[in-house]
Structure 1
Amino acid sequence: MIGAILLTVAIIVFLVIFDWNWFRGPLGRFASAQLDREVVITGDLRVHPWSFSPKAEALGVRIAQPDWAAKADPKGSPPGTPMAKVDRIAVQIKLLPLLKGDVILPLLAIDRPDVRLLREPLGKANWTFGDPNAAKKPMKLPAIQHFVINDGQLRYQDQQRDIFFLGTVSSNEHATGDGRGKFVLEGKGQLNRAPFTAMVTGGPLLNISPNRPYPFDARVDAGSTHITAKGDITKPFNLGLFETQLSISGTDLNRLYALTGLALPNTPPYKISGHLSRKNERFDFKKLNGRIGDSDVSGDLFVLMGKERPYLEADLQSRRLDFDDLGSLVGAAPATGRGETASAGQKVEAGQRDATKRLLPDATLQVERVKAMDAKVKYRALAVNAPNLPLQKVRLDLTLEKGVLTLDPIAFTFSRGDLAGKVRLDANPKVPRTDLDMRLTNAKLEDFITIKTDGKPAIEGGVMARAKLTGYGNSVHRAASTANGQVTLVSPKGEIRQAFAELLGVNASKGLIMLLSKDTKETSVRCAVADFRVKDGIMTSNQIVADTGVVLAKGKGTIDLRNERMDLRIDGDSKKPRLVRLFVPITIRGPFLEPKIGLDTGAAVAQGGVAVALGTLLSPLAAILPFVTGGEAKDADCAGIVAEARSDGAPVKVAQTTPAKPKK
């Protein structure tokens, strides 16, 4: 009995006078083996064991960078620069809850930490310890009843995502007006050279329990992006389990990449809210609701993390889509007129577009981002605001897997007819490849050519088309500039105001008089075909034919997708004898956004000159005779023309070319 008492006293005396610094070396070597890099304690190691909540302090803790870090970031991590250095770490633990398997820390204090986090381009990160190929798990911290960070410094560089943050981090509890404490965690600095602030607040930590949810509020401001959250950590502080009501707003969803790692599309300014929950590697964002540009959006989505690439799946819809908002997906600036929603940067882009008269967007595809995630998205627009198009609905199904983005289908429903097909973009080659196959079916010309006289369409009838193209480039404009393939448009039958038909042959004695007299007489369009082969971004006509009841018009020319210019010529030939028939072809030339319609005067000069031709209206009959046509033009072989176009891929049947019955 006396021996046991003496042994106990001896142990107590030993522990009281023992120099705990003796453990600095063994403890550092143990930590080094666990973290696979050198860990040293350069200051004192202090232990206070005489309590049911023993406390330990370590001064001057340094954690070295892994060997590869200095090569990956020589400026930020030169040789000898540690991954982390801390002036003081103090931790206290309750012993009795350990008997039930609960870890509760009455205190965790970190003084003046200086941490440098780095991820290199291939994804290797200096905060990953152990097997780098092991599945990544969310951070799990024990319940902490008093958490203090004093004067923290953080440098974060992600070379894979092209993200850089430099700032400060601190936390503490502050007394509130009612005498209760409030936990505050703050971070501020610059994220990619834009101001960044983050604040998380919650109730006092003193009574925290791992079995009781901990409520929190959070706000993040990163440049033009603003995030607010109000929710609960289900099991403090297991950050893999929480629920929160989330609101996000900003100038462009694409800018969330730095915060989330998700390659979201370019958009106009947005504001979205919903219920966000996390269960380990899965994030669910349900009852999503808000606006993107001038379009509403709602639906559900979820994200799976922890794999080689994040995976996003979404089911979204708009009750009413503002069509120009959709253009942002391919890099086009949204409309910036009165009542339109656009950011300051997008207004500048729109101004540049207007100044250069360019139609095809030249915004560069962020290839590495496309390859950094997988996705499956379904989107439906139930109504569409498109002032210049008879567009009613939009439907698209998107898949993104291993750097290959596919839209199948991408479909636009008009008041009459559909434009639908498939687009595939492969971002894996050095120069991305785009394949497009789109078909227009069952549409009506009068819905797109809205010229009317006395309330009646100037032209009407069915129209069908197909575009099958392959292009290379990291923007819409570059892909179009290298495109190869076929574009075909067919109008099998219809009707046109005769005055316009006469003008296809520049019949001054008939067409102009009919227009001036407001004559609304119509004539049939037996068929119209425009067929182009596309090579290296140049569309060259194989055949352009419009066969009406009074004029057979044939054309030729090119459309340059690279420079966005067209150069087309249409020669009309009357089917009936005309007293005055000017053989002056019509030309359509100039940029896509401002084409000029004119006359090829050189062609008329060969028959007496334009001035003489115009003078024939007042000249003797002998001067007019050279311009009289005998009406030798015959009906075009519409069935043959359409069959040829059909062989090139136009979605039209030969049986559809039956001539329209003339109106009585």
Structure 2
Amino acid sequence: MKMPVASEPPEPRPSANPRFWRIVRNVLLIVLGTIFAVWLVLFITKGRFLKHPFESLASSLSDREVKVGGDFQLYFAPLRMKFLAEQLSVSNPDWARGRTLFAARRIEARIAPLSLLFGRRHLYSLELNHGVANLEWDTAHKRNTWTFAKSGEGKPFEMPRIDRADIVGTQIHYIDPQMPLRANLTIDPIAATDTRIGKAVGVSGDGTFRTTPFRLSARLLSPDASISGAENRLQARAWAANSVIDVSGTLPALTEFEGVPLNVAAQGRDLSDLLAVIDVAIPQTRRYALKARLVKDAQTYRFTGMTGTFGQSDLSGSFTVTNEERLRLDATLATRRLDIIDAAPFIGYNPDVVASKGAVAAAAATGAGPRRILPDAALPVEMMQRFDAGLDWKIAIVRSKNVPVSNIALKLSLDKGRLALSPLTFSMARGDVVSDMIFDTRQRPSAIRYDIRLASTPMGRLLAGYGVAGSGTTGTIRGRIELEGRGDTIHDSLATSSGRIAFVMPQGTLWTQNAQLAELDLGTFVSKMFQGKLKKPIEINCGLLAFTVRGGTATADPILIDTSKNVVTGRGGFSFGTEAVDLAFRADGKKISLFSGQSPVGLVGHFAEPRLDVITPQLVGRAGAGLGLAVLATPAAGLLAFVDPGDAKAAACGPVLAAAKASAQRTTKGKPRNDVGNGSPKKDR
């Protein structure tokens, strides 16, 4: 039997060249030794011998003159770079107003070395004594003093991250002609006010933003390093546009604001004045006080958890300001109770004037003529074209004496000067109003469109403040206002408007109270219309109050109300331009009756001061005729002048309920009506 032959062991692989690894080791040792030697030389000498090379290199790279008049140090201690310079100055370019970009009696900093090459500059500590910085953009906003480049556009200023600072007697001057903004700030240490506070820096100054002057005072409070969980507390207050703004919070670093939640509170005379500083237009407000949480994210500023008041109304919600190519404001707001006076600015009134002197005085304050109530306050056209906005606002209740309004929901969109309130909905006396209003300031003058729809609403509650009894009134009313006009004020847009106004009353009852009110004695008006004290409700079959509007003048087209006993017709109209009212209402009986004046009851005057015109020429003429008959015949014959023959033609309710024009109205026998206003400017009294 043949024995197996044992296999030979494999040949060993040749090992790496020992000489190669010795060379690598020696090179690394030389490099490390050189670095250590340089570090050691710099550490021992503090790098003072680099003073003139630093001046030369820095001047060449920045294209500025850089000088150090005193001591100079530049070294690693041990891994952080230490920089110290006394009497340091860096010149500005020739076009700048200030001669130096930066000058300091003494500056000492500990710097993260890699931050000089990558990312944002990071300073572990900064000691600055009597420094002056002049930061400035040129007029074209192309160059600035802090971008060290011989050509090309200036970059936005980015504050380095500073963990700890000790600053004495330092001033910062900033100029941006494009915004325009001028600011002069002074930074100084402040006395500690808390036993836990070890370092504190105060900032104060003033300036102008656009044309608005402001003042600023701030404190940066840093606790002792020995306290665990070090923090930097910010407390700042600014005064501008008759407002006071407070900002507070905790910063991870003295100059670290990005993504940091800050508490913001503002209070003042008028919020619209404050927002106008950043070119945001809102209606005027009475005194306001608001607070919110602010977080900055690049060019976006988010305000959340907002609560507060304006006038006698509350406000809560959130809003965002984005400052990119165009300034944009987006807000979601809620109000539990809105005082009607605080709502006055929405149509151009000053709420303080409304509260103290009334609507007529408020209209006059906008430039409106005497006896006018439509405001002449101009839309902020230029400002509306400089920013965009989106708003979703819900209001639970409006406090008002005469008109019960609730559940308001407003959606607003502003896009390059085109303002849309669409939809604007609310409930009024258990009825709903839906409206769409467009204010297009891109057209000159502004093109304005109003479309307001009133759903079926109980008249008892709607007119309760004007002499109508809710318990005896079952009638309802619905309507629509469609108008288009041109103008930069509400008055001008209505004074040039064309369209139609129509209110329909289906079958129901109406009962008035003889209540004297300053606005209009509706109870007296209706009782005079029907020549009695109205001991029971008026039974309405159908009714229509409609107007055709041309060039701001509204004329009856038609006014027609059919009741169980009378047919009420009306002629005349009113003017949005002059705000004059000249309407005549006539009630003709369906059955013969005695002692009927049979003459129109006039509604005349102006929007601000409407009045009844009960003694009309027709009534005087009939009284004269009755007196003549009594003289010529018998006193009983004089009564014939006041007999209503009862020949009123009942109205066909179909065209009435369809809000048709006068030309489509018919009697119950199908004949066209010629006794109603037909939209003609001429009025038959």
TM tier, smaller: 0.7 to 0.9
Provide the residue aligned with 1:251 in structure 2: 269
Offset at residue 598 of structure 1 (A): 0.3
Q: 2:496 aligns with which of 466, 482, 485?
A: 482
**SS of residue in 2 equivalent to 1:422:** strand
How does 1:404-553 map onto structure 2 within 5 Å? 404-450=418-464, 460-497=474-511, 511-512=530-531, 514-515=532-533, 520-553=535-568
Change in 2 beyond 3 A, CA 1:639/1:88: same
**SS of residue in 2 equivalent to 1:393:** strand
**1:227 is aligned to 2:245:** yes
Offset at residue 599 of structure 1 (A): 3.4
Provide the residue aligned with 1:55 in structure 2: 84
Provide the residue aligned with 1:185 in structure 2: 203
For residues 543 and 279 of structure 2, the distance between their equivalents in structure 1, rounded to whole angstroms, comes to 50
For residues 623 and 208 of structure 2, the distance between their equivalents in structure 1, rounded to whole angstroms, comes to 74
**SS of residue in 1 equivalent to 2:577:** coil
Offset at residue 392 of structure 1 (A): 2.6
Relative to structure 2, which stretch is displaced further, 241-250 or 169-178? 169-178
Offset at residue 220 of structure 1 (A): 1.0
Per-residue CA deviation, residues 567-600 of structure 1 (Å, 9 max, x unaligned), is 1112222222123332422111112121011036
- Confirm or deny: 8 A CA contact 2:485 2:494 kept in the other structure: yes
For residues 587 and 548 of structure 1, the distance between their equivalents in structure 2, rounded to whole angstroms, comes to 20
Residues paired across the two proteins, number: 602
For residues 271 and 426 of structure 1, the distance between their equivalents in structure 2, rounded to whole angstroms, comes to 32
- Confirm or deny: 8 A CA contact 2:546 2:659 kept in the other structure: no
**SS of residue in 2 equivalent to 1:634:** coil
- Confirm or deny: 8 A CA contact 2:186 2:204 kept in the other structure: yes
**1:332 is aligned to 2:349:** yes
**SS of residue in 2 equivalent to 1:302:** strand
For residues 604 and 226 of structure 2, the distance between their equivalents in structure 1, rounded to whole angstroms, comes to 75
For residues 128 and 556 of structure 1, the distance between their equivalents in structure 2, rounded to whole angstroms, comes to 75
For residues 84 and 541 of structure 2, the distance between their equivalents in structure 1, rounded to whole angstroms, comes to 94
Larger radius of gyration: 2
Q: 1:308 aligns with which of 320, 325, 328?
A: 325
For residues 345 and 96 of structure 1, the distance between their equivalents in structure 2, rounded to whole angstroms, comes to 66
**1:106 partner amino acid:** L
For residues 539 and 481 of structure 2, the distance between their equivalents in structure 1, rounded to whole angstroms, comes to 27
Offset at residue 182 of structure 1 (A): 1.4
For residues 530 and 465 of structure 1, the distance between their equivalents in structure 2, rounded to whole angstroms, comes to 9
**SS of residue in 2 equivalent to 1:603:** helix
Q: 1:402 aligns with which of 403, 406, 416?
A: 416
Per-residue CA deviation, residues 52-86 of structure 1 (Å, 9 max, x unaligned), is 41234543622455xxxxxxxxxxxxxx7469865
Relative to structure 2, which stretch is displaced further, 102-111 or 573-582? 102-111
Offset at residue 303 of structure 1 (A): 3.0
Q: 1:176 aligns with which of 192, 204, 211?
A: 192
**SS of residue in 2 equivalent to 1:180:** strand
- Confirm or deny: 8 A CA contact 1:225 1:248 kept in the other structure: yes
**SS of residue in 2 equivalent to 1:365:** coil
Provide the residue aligned with 1:77 in structure 2: none
Relative to structure 2, which stretch is displaced further, 415-424 or 165-174? 165-174
Relative to structure 2, which stretch is displaced further, 215-224 or 310-319? 310-319
**1:637 is aligned to 2:652:** yes
Provide the residue aligned with 1:32 in structure 2: none
For residues 621 and 425 of structure 1, the distance between their equivalents in structure 2, rounded to whole angstroms, comes to 64
For residues 260 and 573 of structure 1, the distance between their equivalents in structure 2, rounded to whole angstroms, comes to 62
Q: 2:308 aligns with which of 276, 283, 290?
A: 290
Change in 2 beyond 3 A, CA 1:109/1:498: closer
For residues 218 and 566 of structure 2, the distance between their equivalents in structure 1, rounded to whole angstroms, comes to 76
For residues 42 and 571 of structure 1, the distance between their equivalents in structure 2, rounded to whole angstroms, comes to 94
For residues 391 and 153 of structure 2, the distance between their equivalents in structure 1, rounded to whole angstroms, comes to 28
**1:54 partner amino acid:** F
Relative to structure 2, which stretch is displaced further, 164-173 or 18-27? 18-27
Structure 2 spans left out of the alignment, 5+ residues: 1-29, 77-81, 515-521, 664-685
**1:642 partner amino acid:** L
**1:558 is aligned to 2:538:** no
For residues 611 and 226 of structure 2, the distance between their equivalents in structure 1, rounded to whole angstroms, comes to 75
Per-residue CA deviation, residues 294-352 of structure 1 (Å, 9 max, x unaligned), is 111122333333x2123333222122222332232332222668xx6x9x999984784
- Confirm or deny: 8 A CA contact 1:216 1:232 kept in the other structure: yes
Per-residue CA deviation, residues 416-451 of structure 1 (Å, 9 max, x unaligned), is 211112112222223222222110012011222227
Change in 2 beyond 3 A, CA 1:150/1:356: farther
Provide the residue aligned with 1:661 in structure 2: none
Offset at residue 635 of structure 1 (A): 0.7
Provide the residue aligned with 2:613 in structure 1: 598
For residues 315 and 577 of structure 1, the distance between their equivalents in structure 2, rounded to whole angstroms, comes to 62
Provide the residue aligned with 1:146 in structure 2: 166
**SS of residue in 2 equivalent to 1:486:** strand
**1:239 is aligned to 2:257:** yes
Relative to structure 2, which stretch is displaced further, 444-453 or 468-477? 444-453
- Confirm or deny: 8 A CA contact 1:173 1:204 kept in the other structure: no
For residues 243 and 542 of structure 2, the distance between their equivalents in structure 1, rounded to whole angstroms, comes to 54
Per-residue CA deviation, residues 381-406 of structure 1 (Å, 9 max, x unaligned), is 22231221122321112222232222
Provide the residue aligned with 1:656 in structure 2: none
For residues 626 and 346 of structure 1, the distance between their equivalents in structure 2, rounded to whole angstroms, comes to 44
For residues 87 and 286 of structure 1, the distance between their equivalents in structure 2, rounded to whole angstroms, comes to 41
Provide the residue aligned with 1:26 in structure 2: 60
- Confirm or deny: 8 A CA contact 1:262 1:373 kept in the other structure: yes
**SS of residue in 2 equivalent to 1:358:** coil
- Confirm or deny: 8 A CA contact 1:502 1:551 kept in the other structure: no
For residues 593 and 323 of structure 1, the distance between their equivalents in structure 2, rounded to whole angstroms, comes to 18
For residues 642 and 454 of structure 1, the distance between their equivalents in structure 2, rounded to whole angstroms, comes to 22
**1:438 partner amino acid:** I
**1:48 partner amino acid:** F
**SS of residue in 2 equivalent to 1:624:** helix
- Confirm or deny: 8 A CA contact 1:396 1:410 kept in the other structure: yes
Structure 1 spans left out of the alignment, 5+ residues: 30-39, 66-79, 649-664
For residues 9 and 126 of structure 1, the distance between their equivalents in structure 2, rounded to whole angstroms, comes to 38
Query: TM-score, structure 2 length as denominator?
Result: 0.75
Offset at residue 170 of structure 1 (A): 0.5
Change in 2 beyond 3 A, CA 1:54/1:24: closer
Provide the residue aligned with 1:279 in structure 2: 297
For residues 604 and 155 of structure 2, the distance between their equivalents in structure 1, rounded to whole angstroms, comes to 60
**SS of residue in 2 equivalent to 1:94:** strand
